Amino acid sequence: AAAPRYEAEDATIFQGAVESNHAGFTGTGFVNSDNVAGSYVEFAVNAARSGPRTLTVRYANGTTADRPMDLTVNGVVAQAGRSFGPTGSWASWADSALTVTLNAGANTIRLTGATAYGGPNLDRITLT
Ligand code: GCU
């Protein structure tokens, strides 16, 4: 089966907008978080069973500066200030993967801009 994909444009967005003006996204667009600390995208994720998963975040950062984000799973910090470095252009998308632990059933995965730049543009997450 295909890996579960969760498009950022379908997630809960706090201080950000769905846009489609930079090519290469999947789904119908991506999220441009406001350039403020605390802007976030939160994904509601269902898991058949508890345990570790590889979480892959697809993003673009067309600036020359890092756009670190705080990653929480079910409200608990999984990684603070995870780096989302420059990808070369806003139309160049990169994957950033790490291991997270999910509960059986409903989970929330939130990516919050850690600096006044806000986050990078977020396309989707995948869980495998
Ligand atoms: C530009 C770009 C946006 C991006 C923004 C930013 O405006 O077009 O897609 O989100 O920069 O710096 O976050």
Residue boundaries of the structural domains of the chain: 5-127
Mutation test residue for ligand 1: of 15, 30, 32, the one with most atoms within 8 Å of CB: 32
Residue 108 CA to ligand 1 center (angstroms) comes to 26
Q: Tell me which architecture the domain covering 5-127 has in CATH.
A: Sandwich (2.60)
The pTM is what?
A: 0.97
Please tell me the residue having the least CA distance from ligand 1 atom 4. 32
- Nearest-CA neighbor of 96 among 58, 54, 40, 70? 58
Contact predicate 60/26, CB 8 Å: no
- Per-residue pLDDT tens, the chain, 128 aa: give them: 677 999 999 999 999 999 999 999 999 999 999 999 999 999 999 999 999 999 999 999 999 999 999 999 999 999 999 999 999 999 999 999 999 999 999 999 999 999 999 999 999 999 99
